[in-house]
Amino acid sequence: MAAPEIDNSKYFVREIEKNDGCVLRMKQCYIGDVGCVVWDAAIVLAKYLETKTFYDPSTGVNMWCGRTVVELGAGTGVVGLMAATLGAHVIVTDLEDLQSLLNVNIQENQTLIQSGSISAKVLKWGDDVSELSPPPHYIIMADCIYYEQSIGPLVETLKQLSGPETSIICCYEQRTEGVNPEVENKFFELLQRNFICETIPSDKQDPEFSSPDIHILHIRRKD
């Protein structure tokens, strides 16, 4: 079956170069909600997945090869696509109205995916996650902490989706204006009832793609 024609007049492209020189070409929408563009935190997280903690071809280390990954609030899908190009089996999730953009970007970057795989699914936080079981090895999420009304459902989804061995990697840009600090505080208050958080220092992040305002956390369920 032929892939659907893409109307390029709807999109503009952001390129993210991988460490091996290949380039992810991410289409973004001229018109749409927050999920339609590549946010800085998504690039910081995508590049973090390539750091030597996870992936070092010179020593044969590849923590992504064959691992299952679910991305929450995937938006354009850049973080999930990075994981898939590194060998992970990825499901990128977001609301119904972002599925076409996710599928366009999967199609656009399919040739960079060799041993991994990627597909898109609809997931509204707080809804049933049984279609995504068993618990993945990794849950990844970038810039998902911004709407107060979505904080409770997001934490509920993390509780339902994760297992005792699941590693959650969360990247977010700390924003000081308006209700943002309050929303972040509420998220961490709810999260820490069931999860343990560890902040990743900047020297463990990609040296070029990091920022003092963008934080990466490793999160695990409490025993």
Token pair 């509780």 is at which residue?
A: 159
Residue count of the chain, please give it. Answer: 223
Residue 30 clears pLDDT 90, i.e. is over it: no
- 27 has a pLDDT exceeding 60: yes
The mean per-residue pLDDT over the stretch 29-34 comes to 62
Higher pLDDT, 28 or 128: 128
Q: How confident is the model at residue 3 (pLDDT cuts 50, 70, 90)?
A: very low
pLDDT average, residue stretch 142-166: 94
DSSP 136: P
pLDDT (mean) for 5-34: 80
CB of 78 closer than 8 Å to CB of 143: no
pLDDT average, residue stretch 145-168: 95
Residue-range domain boundaries for the chain? 8-221
Question: Are 138 and 166 contacting, i.e. CB atoms less than 8 angstroms apart?
Answer: yes
Distance CA 47, CA 44 (A): 5
d(CA 39, CA 61): 28
For the stretch 171-219, pLDDT in tens is 999 887 777 889 999 999 999 999 999 999 999 999 999 999 999 999 9
C-alpha 160, offset from chain centre: 18
Percent of the chain predicted with pLDDT > 90:
84
Q: Enumerate residues 6+ apart whose C-beta is below 8 A from 167.
A: 137, 138, 139, 218, 219, 220
3 or 70, greater pLDDT: 70
Confidence of residue 37 (pLDDT cuts 50, 70, 90): low
pLDDT at 36 exceeding the cut of 70: no
> What average pLDDT is seen over the chain?
92
Asked if residue 73 lies in contact with residue 143, where contact means CB atoms within 8 angstroms, the answer is yes
**69 within 8 A of 90, measured Cβ to Cβ:** yes
Q: By CB neighbour count within 10 A (0-12 exposed, 13-18 middle, 19+ buried), where does 176 fall?
A: exposed
At 10 the pLDDT is: 76
With contact defined as beta carbons under 8 Å apart, do 179 and 148 qualify?
yes
Residue 166 near residue 139, CB atoms below 8 Å: yes
Pick the CATH number of 8-221 from 3.50.50.60, 1.10.1660.10, 3.30.70.100, 3.40.50.150: 3.40.50.150
Taking 3-state DSSP, the helix, strand and coil percentages for the chain, each rounded to the nearest 5, stand at 30, 25, 40
3-state secondary structure (DSSP) of residue 85: helix
pLDDT, one tens digit per residue, over 48-70 is: 999 999 999 999 999 999 999 99
Share of the chain above pLDDT 70, in %: 92
